[in-house]
Structure formats: structure tokens, C-alpha cells
Amino acid sequence: MTDDTTPIATLFERAEDYSKTTLKLFRLNAIDKSADVASSLVSRLAVIMTVVFSVLISSIGVALWLGKILGDLFCGFFIVGAFYMLLAIILHLFREQWLKYPVSNSIIKQMLKEKIV
């Protein structure tokens, strides 16, 4: 049995194998990074939802307490609602530096983080 392949054919075959392996590696790295970002976002979402529910229940309690002090329950709810409206306006004004940039930077850091195996 003799090997009838030329060096050029061998080179092309190896180049094809290399490109297929590189493409598979790129896909696996992309999947790994996407899974890492998604799992991080889901875990943060779980924490955020817990905080939201605790703030909601605390807000109802504070509104009822303020309403009892002021003599009318609806006054307490209006005061708490006005506080959240003020908070929403402040968040809207500073949304770029307080929300957008930190979230973007966090996602970019996770995407560029080297995996230590």
C-alpha cells in the first residue's frame, strides 16, 4: 500500500480539519459565554424579584401606618405613591450612569472573562 496523496492535498486536508475544529471551538465558547451570562441574569433576577416583593409588602405596611397616623388610610398610600414617583423621576434622570452602564459593563466583563479549567 502506497500513499498517493500529495503534500498539497495533505495540507488542504489539515487546513480543512483545522478550520472545522476552530469553528467548533468558537461555537462552544459562544455557548459557554451565553450560558454564563444567562445564568447570571437569572440569578440576579431572582434576587431582584425578592427585593421587589419585600419592598412592596413594606410599602403597604408603611402606607397603612402613615394612614393610621394621619387619620385617613388613603393619605398614607398617596404619600408612599408620591415617594415612589419621586424615586422613579430620579432613576429616569440618572438611568444611564446608574442602570445602563453598570449592566452593560457587567455583561461585557462576563463575556470577556477567561475560563480557568
- pLDDT on residue 1: 47
Q: In the structure, what pLDDT confidence band is assigned to residue 109 with cuts at 50, 70 and 90?
A: confident
pLDDT in tens, 80-90: 999 999 999 99
Higher pLDDT, 2 or 46: 46
- pLDDT on residue 117: 60
pLDDT in tens, 15-73: 999 999 999 999 998 888 888 888 888 988 999 999 999 999 999 999 999 999 999 98
If you average pLDDT over residues 87-103, what whole number do you get? 89
3-state DSSP of the chain: CCCCCCHHHHHHHHHHHHHHHHHHHHHHHHHHHHHHHHHHHHHHHHHHHHHHHHHHHHHHHHHHHHHHHHCCHHHHHHHHHHHHHHHHHHHHHCHHHHHHHHHHHHHHHHHHCCCCC
